[in-house]
Homo-oligomer: A and B are copies of this chain.
Amino acid sequence: MNHTIAPLYAALCAYERNRHISLHVPGHKDGNVFDKEADNHFYSILKIDATEVSGLDDLHHPAEVIAEAQEMAADAFGAAETFFLIGGSTAGNLAAALTLCAPGDTILVQRNAHKSIFNGLLLAGARPVFITPYTEPDTQVATGISATHVKVALKKYPSAKAVWITNPNYYGMGQNVAEIAEACHQAGIPLIVDEAHGAHFSQALNVPDSALKAGADLVVQSTHKMLPAMTMASMLHIQGTRIPREKLKRVLSMIQSSSPSYPLMASLDVARRYLVTKGRKQLVATVEKLEQARLDLTRKLEYLFIWSEIDGKTVYTRDPLKWVLTSRHFNVTGYQLLEWLEEMGIVAEMADLRNVVLVFPIHNEVTQIEKVINAVLQLEKKLANMPGERRTRNRTNAFFTRPGRLVKPSISLQEAFHFHKKRVPLEQAIGWCSAEMVIPYPPGVPLLVPGEKITEEHVNIIQEIKWAGGYFQGTSDETVEEIFVLVSL
């Protein structure tokens, strides 16, 4: 396939060249009716912010340039069929849930999933059974599950419609997807993979295998996260015969805008072209440079730590484009590290209680890596000079305990959503079932989902995150001093 062309983007360029009098939407009329003071940023993009006029195909009915662009993406990512998402990976996850689950259906779901997976299950009226993940010991980050966990779960819940995992996690830690896929296929059900953070997987020999290569049936990738598409532009890939394609197409048309953004779609088209024609080579070189830099740097660190250990159990793969920088100083949180880095002109991806995550681009300048190394060394010095102790391992305060444990909430997410609720102070909520999602953000993995019983440990973790400067999504009270709980009538 000739990946030097970008058919959808080319069609938009042709649209611009052959401009007519627009008596159709959008209201900005190719940018002619617009706030001139904002033209600096918007002028050139509005020329291709088109709608479904002839020659530009239709996302919900693709037959021409969008179909072609999607086929080229499928080729580049190793899918049988690829769908452009203009609602982000959120749209992909909602679509997966609605395609695979009717109300009341059982589905096995890795518990440390992005909130959009829980929301999809809620919308579908599914009855998820959660599989508790491992926790990586140095960083205290929830990772993945194992094929054995899946086999045990499938024995207990043979009516499960699918297994849904998240790989890699937000920190670039991965699990053995191929073995899990095999376990699913032996049971005759599909494996769904939220690969939001792994759009670059399998695109070079020195990054982990993609979920599609490992045999997954439906895969959602945030093309805007690790590859250069516009924010909110993602892809959904499928292969094999286990996914009902017609139903999937109907669901995607249902939950995505009927006025899809052409710049977002075109950015997927050019991101694919860029990846294949240049990005793959750049990725190899970037990873080589980063690995060397990380090794050199690690030797010089005592109060900081860059995670890298793959033990084959709690972690099976590592994304070399991500550095998880962990504080070993008792008095320094990941939030604090993030703040200090920002003061040094380096904006990190996210932080939690212990760690800060740096996301490197697929194309990297050596000078930039050097700046990052210098900043980390400065941080190391800062921590060494601070009062307080150094720990070799973080104390255990993991979100999720007992890997492989199956949790089936007594009430579905949808029932909980419509159930009667009352608001109580957080401390008084212990023993009640939560009526809200409590989502430390980032990473966006819910600590509590509706229907789960609130424990003292939950309250402790919430207070620790708050105290350390983290914040929450999903709750009606953003300070989480009060929380809605489920009450019977």
8 A-B pairs within 8 Å (CB atoms) are namely: A12-B41, A23-B349, A27-B227, A35-B271, A38-B270, A123-B123, A250-B476, A253-B474
Residue pair A35, B368 in contact (C-beta under 8 Å)? no
Q: Which residue of B lies closest to A450 (CB)?
A: B250
Q: How distant is A244 from chain B, measured CB to nearest CB, in Å?
A: 11
CB of A34 closer than 8 Å to a CB of B: yes
Query: A33 — which chain B residues lie within 8 A by C-beta?
Result: 228, 361-363
Q: How far apart sit A222 and B37, CA to CA, in the bound complex (Å)? A: 22
Q: Tell which of B6, B32, B98, B262 touches A38, judged by Cβ atoms closer than 8 Å.
A: B6
CB-CB under 8 A from A363, the residues of chain B are 32-33
Interfacial residues of chain A within 218-248, with CB under 8 A of chain B in the complex: 222-232, 246
Q: Is A20 an interface residue (CB 8 A)?
A: yes
Produce 1/0 per residue, A106-141, CB < 8 A to B.
Answer: 000000001110010011010000000000000000
A354 close to chain B: CB less than 8 A? no
Known contacts A12-B41, A35-B270; can you find 17 more A-B pairs with CB under 8 A? A20-B342, A23-B347, A23-B360, A27-B223, A27-B225, A27-B362, A41-B45, A41-B48, A54-B342, A61-B473, A87-B87, A88-B260, A103-B418, A114-B258, A224-B259, A232-B260, A261-B261
Copies in the complex: 2
For window 175-228 of chain A, which residues contact chain B by CB distance below 8 Å?
A: 199, 222-228
Q: Is there a chain B Cβ closer than 8 Å to A352's Cβ?
A: no
A27 touches B229 (CB 8 A): yes
The complex places the Cα of A321 from the Cα of B42 at a distance, in Å, of 25
The residue on B at minimum CB distance from A259 is B88
B-contacting residues, A466-480, CB 8 Å: 471, 473-474, 476, 478
Check: A28 CB closer than 8 A to any chain B CB: yes
Q: Is the CB of B45 within 8 A of A246?
A: no
Q: Which residues of B contact A349 (CB under 8 A)?
A: 23-25
**Contact at B21–A263, with CB atoms within 8 Å?**
no
Asked if B119 contacts A255 (CB within 8 A), the reply is: yes
Residue contact A259 to B271, C-beta cutoff 8 Å: no
Size category of the A interface is 35 or more
Interface residues of A in 46-70 (CB under 8 A from B): 46-51, 53-54, 58, 60-61, 63
| Interchain CB contact under 8 A, A41 and B47 | yes
A346 at the interface (CB under 8 A from B): yes
Contacts of A358 in B (CB 8 A): 23
A27 to B24, CA, bound (A): 34
Contact with B along A305-344 (1 / 0, CB 8 A): 0000000000000000000000000000000000000100
Q: Which of A49, A119, A474 has the most CB of B within 10 A?
A: A49
- From 251 to 269 in chain A, residues with beta carbon under 8 angstroms from any chain B beta carbon are 253-264, 266-267
Q: Are A261 and B230 in contact (CB under 8 A)?
A: yes
Interfacial chain B residues near A388, Cβ < 8 Å:
none
With A38-B9, A119-B254, A254-B119 known to touch, is A347 a contact of B28 (CB < 8 Å)? no
